[in-house]
Amino acid sequence: MSETKLVNIFGINVGFNTLIAMIATLIIVFILSVFFTRKLKVENPGKTQTVFEYLISFINGIVEESFGSQSQPVYVMLALTLFLFVFVSNVLGLPFLVEAHEISYWKSPTADPIVCIALALTMNFISHILGIKKFGFGGYFKKNYATPNVAVLPIKAADEIISIATLSLRLFGNIFAGEILLVLIAQLGNSFGLVTWLAGIPLQMVWQGFSLFIGALQAYIFVTLSMVYLSHKVVTEH
């Protein structure tokens, strides 16, 4: 299976299927946001609002674990947006595959390493912006890169790179492996006719269900680690 190449960055190809899936992810997240927030009620909330409030409470718990008493609504909204985006990106390739002439036109965006790296870099950039906004450039630099003195700067810089790499590659590895196994199960089901096709259906359904769980788990891990990294930049030590 090959991909339509758009651009090559450090040897990593961004395929046309990734671009299409990313656009679909943005649309789905927008629709979910509108769906969950329309017709909100203070009294007698509906089932949709109850689910949304549970999700907010869940995300708020993640943020409070990292920020403690210094938690702010902006961190909760950032974590919620990130969770929805990563979760949808993780599971988008599960329902079906779209291929023509050995070219793939559909996949989970986070099964592409460049997407995962971009997500990690974006969160790293946001953490710098929020940190500088809170402490000023000088105070932020001293707090995160020159404490107790500037000699720790190379170590801090290396830690920054390692954090970005581990955050992105952990997500990519899990989602990519899941999609590869789905393809292998589908090929196995078509390899020996009707018998293996019938046997492959329940196996495919079981693995898709497990992959859905893995997608949610990896979104949770990505958001949790992102909030931990962000808290290191903006939390005032007592």
User: Residues 225, 82, 69, 145: is their CA dihedral positive or negative?
Assistant: positive
Instruction: Answer yes or no: is pLDDT of 198 > 80.
Output: no
Q: What DSSP string runs through 67-88?
A: HGGG--HHHHHHHHHHHHHHHH
Per-residue pLDDT band for 197 (boundaries 50, 70, 90) equals low
CB atoms within 10 A of CB 8: 10
Residue 17 burial (CB < 10 Å; 0-12/13-18/19+)? buried
Rounded to a whole number of angstroms, the CA Rg of the chain reads 21
> In terms of pTM, does the model score above 0.75?
yes
Which segment of 8-22, 67-81, 153-167, 188-202 scores lowest on mean pLDDT?
Answer: 188-202
Residue extents of the structural domains in the chain: 5-234
Q: 161-170, 200-209, 218-227: which range is least confident on average?
A: 200-209
Nearest to 58 by CA among 26, 38, 87: 87
> Which tokens go with 236?
């005032």
Mean pLDDT of 187-216: 72
If one compares 176 and 15, the residue with the highest pLDDT of the two is: 176
- According to the model, what pLDDT value does residue 7 have? 56
Over range 117-138, report the average pLDDT.
93
pLDDT at position 58: 93
* pLDDT at residue 146 in the model: 84
pLDDT for 177 equals 83
For 122-126, 178-182, 197-201, which range has the lowest pLDDT when averaged over its residues? 197-201
Assign 51 a pLDDT band (cuts: 50, 70, 90).
confident
Backbone angles phi, psi at 128, to 5 degrees: -65, -45
Burial 39-49, CB ≥16 within 10 A → b, else e:
eeeeeeeeeeb
Q: How far out from the chain centre does Cα 124 lie?
A: 14
The C-alpha angle with vertex 82 and arms to 225 and 178, in degrees rounded to 5, equals 75
Give the pLDDT band of residue 148 (cuts 50, 70, 90): confident
Distances (CA, A) of 145 to 32, 53, 125, 132, 140: 39, 38, 15, 13, 8
Q: Are 40 and 32 in contact (CB under 8 A)?
A: no
Say which residue, 209 or 92, is predicted with more confidence.
Answer: 92
Lookup: tokens for 53: 């409030």
H helices present in the chain, as ranges = 16-37, 47-67, 73-91, 113-145, 153-189, 194-234
Is residue 11 pLDDT above 70, yes or no?
A: no
- What would the mean pLDDT of 49-73 be, rounded to a whole number? 90
